[in-house]
C-alpha cells in the first residue's frame, strides 16, 4: 500500500523497460496487489493532513477546506390524516428521510386544511363549488436533491388528492467533517521561527530544506496545514484565521503575492516528509481493524533532493 500512485498521469504502456513498468511487472509476477491511497487519503479523519497535524502537536482539528455534504431538499406535504402513513412511507421508499445513520425520519403535525373545488375539478373529498375543511397532517422530511423528482413522483402516486399542496425548499449545504487540509491550535503559543524548528524536528529526516516566509517573531497559536502541494489554500488559511500555514511545494509568485496581500506567514516543508507522517497511522489503523494482519512501515527516503546548500545574505 502506498500514498502516491506509480503513475500520476495516464499512460499507454507499462513496459518493463521503464522504471515504473519494472515495478508493476515485479508485483504481478510475485502475486502482490498494490493499493494506492492518494487524494482519497487526503481528506478523511486520520488521513494525510490530519496525521501531519497530529505529528506537529496541533489539536482541535477541523478541515481547512471542508467537503460539501450532498445537497438536501426540505419537503412539506399536506395530506388527509388517514393517508399520512401511506404518503410518508412512499416518500421514504423513494429515498426521503435519511439523516446520518438514521432513515425513515420525518415529522408530522395535525391541523385542518381548507379548499374549494372549482368547475372542472374531480375532488377526492368534497364537492365542486363548496368550501371543504379536512383533518389533515403536515409531513416534513428531508431528501437528497438528486432524488427530487423520484420523491415527488412517489408522493403524488400515493396521495389521494387531485392537486397536492406541497413545498420543496433547497437547504444550505452543511460542511462535512472531511475535507482538504486541517486547521487547529497548539497547546502553547510559540513563534513562527520556533514552530519552523519544531516542525523540522518532528518530521522524518531528509536532505531537503524547510523554508519560511514571513515574520519569524509573529506569535502562533492557530496553525493551518496541508500535506503535499498546498499553495491553492494560501488564501483559505488566512481567511480561516491561521497564524501560519504549513505545506509543501510553494512557489515564488504565489507566496510573494500572498504576503503582499497581508496573508499569514508560511512554512514550506518537503513533500515526502510531510506525507510520510500518514504511513504509521495507516499501519496502526490497519492492525487495529483487520484481524491477523501484519504491517511494516517503509523508512526509505523517497524525497528526490539529496542535498541543500544554504544561501548567504549580503547587506
C-alpha cell at 270: 518537503
Give domain 72-170's CATH architecture: 2-Layer Sandwich (3.30)
8 A C-beta contact, residue 149 and residue 155: no
The candidate with the shortest Cα–Cα distance to 83, out of 166, 159, 135, 162, is 159
Residues of the chain with CATH 3.30.70.120: 72-170
pTM here is: 0.76
Non-local CB neighbours of 314 within 8 Å, separated by 6+ positions: none
pLDDT tens-digit series, residues 65-114: 998 888 999 999 999 999 999 999 999 999 999 998 999 999 999 999 99
Residues facing 73 on adjacent strands: 143, 170
Q: What fold is seen in the domain 42-66+177-289? A: 3.40.1390
Residues of the chain with CATH 3.40.1390.30: 42-66+177-289
Distance (Å, whole) CA 173 – CA 69 = 6
Q: CA dist 156 to 86, 164, 217, Å?
A: 11, 7, 65
The candidate with the shortest Cα–Cα distance to 223, out of 205, 198, 201, 203, is 198
Q: CA dist 217 to 49, 86, 118, 240, 315, Å?
A: 25, 67, 77, 21, 21
Give the strand order in the sheet containing 211-213.
58-68, 175-191, 219-229, 244-248, 266-268, 211-213
The pLDDT tens digits along the chain (315 residues) read 888 888 888 888 889 999 999 999 999 999 999 998 888 899 999 999 999 999 999 999 999 999 888 899 999 999 999 999 999 999 999 999 999 899 999 999 999 999 999 999 999 999 999 999 999 999 999 999 999 999 999 999 999 999 999 999 999 887 788 999 999 999 999 999 999 999 999 999 888 999 999 999 999 999 999 999 999 999 999 999 999 999 999 999 999 999 999 999 999 999 999 999 999 999 999 999 999 999 999 989 989 998 888 887 655
Helix extents (H) in 159-309:
192-202, 234-239, 252-260, 271-276, 278-289
Amino acid at each position: 500500500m502506498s500514498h502516491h500512485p506509480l503513475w500520476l498521469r495516464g499512460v499507454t504502456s507499462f513496459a518493463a523497460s521503464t522504471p515504473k513498468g519494472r515495478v508493476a511487472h515485479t508485483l504481478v509476477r510475485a502475486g502482490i496487489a498494490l493499493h494506492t491511497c492518494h487524494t482519497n487519503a487526503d481528506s478523511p479523519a486520520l488521513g494525510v493532513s490530519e496525521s501531519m497535524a497530529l505529528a506537529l502537536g496541533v489539536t482541535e482539528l477541523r478541515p481547512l477546506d471542508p467537503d460539501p455534504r450532498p445537497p438536501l431538499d426540505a419537503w412539506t406535504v399536506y395530506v388527509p390524516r388517514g393517508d399520512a402513513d401511506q404518503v410518508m412511507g412512499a416518500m421514504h421508499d423513494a429515498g426521503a428521510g435519511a439523516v446520518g445513520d438514521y432513515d425513515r425520519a420525518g415529522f408530522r403535525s395535525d391541523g385542518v386544511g381548507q379548499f374549494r373545488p372549482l368547475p372542472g375539478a374531480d375532488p377526492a373529498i368534497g364537492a365542486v363549488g363548496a368550501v371543504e375543511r379536512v383533518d389533515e397532517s403536515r409531513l416534513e422530511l428531508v431528501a437528497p436533491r438528486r432524488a427530487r423528482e423520484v420523491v415527488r413522483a412517489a408522493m403524488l402516486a400515493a396521495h389521494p388528492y387531485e392537486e397536492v399542496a406541497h413545498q420543496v425548499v433547497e437547504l444550505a449545504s452543511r460542511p462535512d467533517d472531511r475535507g482538504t487540509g486541517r486547521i487547529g491550535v497548539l497547546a502553547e503559543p510559540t513563534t513562527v521561527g520556533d514552530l519552523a524548528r519544531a516542525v523540522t524536528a518532528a518530521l522524518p529526516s531528509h536532505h531537503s530544506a524547510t523554508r519560511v516566509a514571513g515574520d519569524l517573531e509573529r506569535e502562533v497559536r492557530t496553525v493551518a496545514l496541508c500535506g503535499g502541494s498546498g499553495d491553492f489554500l494560501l488564501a483559505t488559511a488566512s481567511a480561516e484565521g491561521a497564524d501560519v500555514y504549513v505545506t509543501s511545494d510553494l512557489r515564488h509568485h504565489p507566496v510573494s503575492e500572498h504576503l503582499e496581500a497581508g496573508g499569514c506567514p508560511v512554512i514550506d516543508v518537503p513533500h515526502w516528509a510531510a506525507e510520510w507522517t500518514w504511513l504509521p497511522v495507516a499501519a496502526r489503523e490497519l492492525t487495529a481493524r483487520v484481524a491477523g494482519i501484519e504491517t511494516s512501515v517503509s523508512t526509505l527516503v523517497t524525497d528526490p533532493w539529496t542535498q541543500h546548500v544554504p544561501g548567504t545574505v549580503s547587506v
